[in-house]
Structure 1
Amino acid sequence: MSKVVFITGASSGIGKSIASYLHSKNYKVYGTSRNPQKVDVPYHMVALDVTKEETIKTAIEEVIKKEGKIDVLINNAGKGITGPIEDTPTKEMRDNFETNFFGVINVIKEVLPYMREQKQGLVINTTSIAAYMGLPFRGIYSASKGALELITESLSMEVKAFGINVVNVAPGDFATNIAAGRYHTPVFDNSAYKEKYAENLALMDNHVDSGADPIQMAKKVQEIIENKKPKIHYKVGAFMEKFSIVLKRILPDKVYEKLLMNHYKL
């Protein structure tokens, strides 16, 4: 029997690439979107908003009713946020955590009982290489994804006895439309960070525009699914993006901070 894959945020970007690729490899894929009727894809789509618990429950029950199981849950839905910490509205910070952190947890909580009953399952959380370091003007995004990295470690230990594996996949910059869906704190005229923030906004968008093909993420996800003993942490991206995590481990804090500040021209 084909493995049943449930992936949130499958209407565009990395999520769409993963879902399309797995569908082409004969997995039975169910993607989610807040407006699935507007999405033209070869795999099944169901309505789900990770910030609304009732839609999570309904979507999961729909797939279980049709397939009787969910073998793989891929938590891909998320959104970006940029801005100086001082200038970013606290409400927008909370909203970001509702999607990137609490939304993921609520999807996991709804799926775990079915996986326990099956005595097997795999949860893959899409985080970010930015989760491993606090980046200027992306601090809230780094924090929400970093929190998800740690929750994955905790959950992995809690559910191991039930035959369930939980892993992270941290992508670097990929050519997607994520920039269009970000919350950008405005560049306020009276902001102390006006010039540097404006420069870094352009730099961030350029990194995404020149990013790699998200098919790399799709292939890595399939590799994880096929691995009977997956690791907890995976990184997918350019060499220097992954190497930056190694440097953070081995360099003194101030030296690493200086490298980042030079990169972001601060």
Structure 2
Amino acid sequence: MSKVVLITGGSSGIGKSVGEFLTTKGFLVYGTSRSPERYPSSKFPIVALDVTKNQTIIDAIKDVLSKEGHIDVLINNAGVGITGPIEETPEAEIRNNFETNLFGPINVIKAALPGMREHGSGLIINITSIAAYMGLPYRGIYSASKGAFELVTEAFRMELKGSNIEMTNVAPGDFATNIASSRYHAPILENSPYKKDYGNTLNLMNSHVDSGKDPLLMAKAIYKIINTPKPKIHYKVGESMQKFSIVLKRILPDKLYERLLIMYYKL
């Protein structure tokens, strides 16, 4: 029997690549989008779900369960980027980022767990970010929301001990997707003390996405995880130097690591 996979944010970017790849491997894949009618040519079904609206989460899970009877793999991929000086980022945008990147995915997990428990097994893969491992300048809110999701996963794993439900984090680096066009950018204000540094950093971040890895790399990594009986707690996928930056933070004194980031971003 083919495994049933539900991917939030499955209409574009990493989610779309993962869904298409898993479909070629024989999985029954469902993706989600706030506007599924916009994707009539998707290679797998897209159901309506907005992670910031809990009723749509409940309805989407019920929809898939009514059709397939169970969900074997949940991939929490839906998320949104945000850039800007924290001082100049509107509170509403900060809250929206946490609603999308943290509270929403938690609600998706909560909605999926009863069915997995009844089925006797399940795998939940949470897509976070390498940025979750460090507070990056002008990406502080994004780092914080994704970092919180990493910690939530660690806690969930222990709470689910003995349930035969596995959970893991996958932290991607920069991939060539449309995330830069859809994320919130705090405006570069003419009289802002951050004008020069934020402008330069924003250009650097956008160039990293433009030259990022092929999302197929993420798809292959997730396929491998699905076929691993006991997944690790954390996975990192991306450029070697991006992954090595996490190692450096672990072994270097805090202020030395901070200086390296300041030099890297030319602040």
TM over 0.5: yes
Secondary structure, aligned partner of 2:2: coil
Q: Name 2:25's counterpart in structure 1.
A: 25
Cα distance, 1:90 vs structure 2: 1.1
Task: Determine helix, strand or coil for the equivalent of 2:75.
Answer: strand
Is 1:249 matched with 2:259?
no
- Deviations, residues 218-237 of structure 1 (Å, cap 9, x unaligned): 00001010000110100000
1:41 shift after superposition: 1.1
Residues 1:175 and 2:160 are matched in the alignment = no
How far apart are 1:204 and its partner, in Å? 0.5
- Confirm whether residue 87 of structure 1 aligns to residue 110 of structure 2: no
Per-residue CA distance 1:211-257 (angstroms, 9 max, x = gap): 01010100000101000011010000010000000000000001100
Q: Distance in 1 between matches of 2:161 and 2:47?
A: 29
* CA apart distance, 1:160: 2.2
Q: Distance between the aligned counterparts of 2:123 and 2:67, measured in 1?
A: 19
In the TM superposition, what is the alpha-carbon distance from 1:118 to its structure 2 partner?
1.1
1:45-60 maps to which residues of 2 (within 5 A)?
Answer: 45-60=46-61
Other-structure match for 1:124: 125
Distance 1:95 1:230 in 2: 31
Q: Secondary structure at the match of 1:74?
A: strand
**How far 1:85 sits from its partner (Å)?**
0.8
State how far apart, in whole Å, the 2-side matches of 1:51 and 1:85 are: 22
- Counterpart for residue 103 of structure 1: 104
Q: Read off the aligned partner of 1:52 and give its amino acid letter.
A: K
Where do 1:187-206 residues align within 5 Å?
Answer: 187-206=188-207
SS of 1:160's partner is coil
Q: What TM-score comes out, normalization by structure 2 length?
A: 0.99
Q: What is the SS of the residue equivalent to 1:168? A: strand
- Percent identity reads 65
Root-mean-square deviation (CA, aligned residues, Å) is 0.5
Distance 1:32 1:262 in 2: 40
| Aligned AA (1:32) | T
AA aligned opposite 2:16: K
After TM superposition, give the deviation of residue 82 of structure 1 in Å: 0.2
Q: State the match for 1:222 in structure 2.
A: 223
What does the per-residue CA deviation read over 1:180-239, in whole Å, with 9 as the maximum and x for residues that have no partner?
000000001121101110111111000000001010100000101000011010000010
Report the counterpart of residue 7 of structure 1 in structure 2.
7
* Structure 2: 5+ residue stretches without partners: none
Gap runs ≥5 in structure 1 = none
